[in-house]
Amino acid sequence: MTYLDHDGVRINYQVFGPPHGATPLLLTHGFSASSAMWQPNIAALAAARPVITWDLRGHGRSDAPDDLARYRASACVADMAALLDACGIARVVAGGLSLGGFLSLEFCLAHPDRVAGLVLCDTGPGYRRDEARQQWNDRAIALAGRLERDSARGLALAARGILTQRDARVIDALPAITVPALVLVGARDSDYLGAAEYMAARLPRAVHAVIPEAGHLCNVDQPDLFSQQVLAFLDQPDLR
């Protein structure tokens, strides 16, 4: 295991594949998962390019600080930039599933010069209406309470600080994101089918694909189909 000490928090990460190859791929996992969720896909995706996987704060083998203020989407975005710096990588295709997809969009907005493309899996762009956003946040806070009762303090803090949303900045910015984007969703992931269609319609260079017989973890449910879709997307000239 490799660790990066960023802002006093140890972040676990791994780099797979050839050190020099096509545009590197940075993969960010979903809430309550870890970088291990990408194992079914690493062999295929890292055959021709570096692939970086990592654990969010409060997840996996990364640190889980006790201070809620250390859990923000902006802190995760800063972790992502620090990881690329540590690996000597200037630009990546930023990919993620669920919360990891949303953070990939956040990273693209914060560091547009470092993102060559996006792979957005079983995810959404947030909410424009305050009422819908509050409903999401209420569910996240309720989840945090259950996690605290189960003594999963790091995940509880991540639910309160990273999973909750604060504004419509990401969803409003979709038409201005001009890098190639692959929007993937499992056919059985009913909670995110509409969000995937919405993003694909508003991202100017989006490719939209629905993976059959797959739920919210489309890369795990159908690893071969997932990897085929991602590799076909990455084969375009801009991302080689």
* The pLDDT value given to residue 1: 75
Collapsed DSSP state (helix, strand, coil) of residue 129: coil
* pTM of the predicted protein model: 0.97
Nearest to 29 by CA among 217, 226, 227: 217
Spatial separation of the C-alpha atoms in residues 101 and 40, rounded to whole Å? 18
Quick one: pLDDT at residue 238? 85
Q: Which fold has domain 2-125+168-239?
A: Rossmann fold (3.40.50)
pLDDT tens, the chain, 240 aa long: 799 999 899 999 999 999 888 999 999 999 999 999 999 999 999 999 999 999 999 999 999 999 999 999 999 999 999 999 999 999 999 999 999 999 999 999 999 999 999 999 999 999 999 999 999 999 999 999 999 999 999 999 999 999 999 999 999 999 999 999 999 999 999 999 999 999 999 999 999 999 999 999 999 999 999 999 999 999 999 888
Q: What residues does each domain of the chain span? A: 2-125+168-239
Buried b (16+ CB within 10 A) or exposed e, 152-180: bebbbbbbbbbbbbeebebbebbeebebb
